[in-house]
Amino acid sequence: MSSDRVAVPQLLARLRRQDSGRPRVTWYGADGERVELSARVLENWVAKTANLLVEELEVEVGDAVRLDLPAHWRTVAWRLAVAAVGGELAVQDCGAAPDVLVVADGSPGLAGATSGTGTGVPRHLVVQALGALAFRAQVVPPGALDAAAVVAGYGDELPAVVGAPGLVVTGPPSDARVLVDARSGDDDAALDAVLAALAGGGSAVLLGPGSPDPERVAAQEGTAPA
């Protein structure tokens, strides 16, 4: 499958110019959770996360960032932010500890990250709460950063980063509103589908575990399969 790189600031600016209030990422989770991000709101989340990466976590172009997160709207923001500052996504079995490891609150991988199991201890460990109303993580090991508790305090403008290679977009971009079902499939493939929709000027409805029936959501949201 072919892939291209897209500059994140230009991508987000283009979405905002097209229609700043149009839903671009809509997340469905368990217990009726639904989160909708317009182009303007998505850009705001990405900017704050990117500034956190640069100012707090000292990420520079080429640094390895591993996102041990499921397919989720917060993960979409992280993926865009990492690309915006020039970080390179690291896979779990890359053979070395990443510069930054972002782990979901309550994830079994949190214990391994603090003990140095596998690839060793990362330079920075970040815990990300995933609940829509979660303003802090439930378990934050000593020395780790609680992303939900601090991200709102960072700037609303994307940092200027020279030499960032851009976001890797796998698959053909789409200008449609697509339904991406991540309930039991490949999280990376689901995230790639969301990013391809954004790169094409479209939007995505992302279904997580415990979300409603896809056919009902598709009818409500007016989507096509990714």
Q: Where are the domains of the chain?
A: 3-225
Sequence-ordered list of residues with C-beta below 8 angstroms from that of 168, at least 6 positions apart, any chain: 3, 4, 5, 83, 89
CA distance 175 to 167: 17
β-strands 34-38, 224-225 pairing: unpaired
3-state secondary structure of 50: helix
CATH tag, 3-225: 3.40.50.12780
CA distance 124 to 135: 20
Q: pLDDT band at residue 95, thresholds of 50, 70 and 90? A: low
Q: pLDDT band at residue 119, thresholds of 50, 70 and 90? A: low
- The pTM score is 0.94
3-state secondary structure of 224: strand
- For the stretch 124-162, pLDDT in tens is 999 999 988 889 999 999 999 999 999 999 999 999 999
| Predicted pLDDT at 184 | 83
How confident is the model over 84-90, as a mean pLDDT? 96
Could you give the percent of the chain with pLDDT greater than 90?
Answer: 81
Please calculate the CA angle 175-179-185 and round it to the nearest 5 degrees: 125
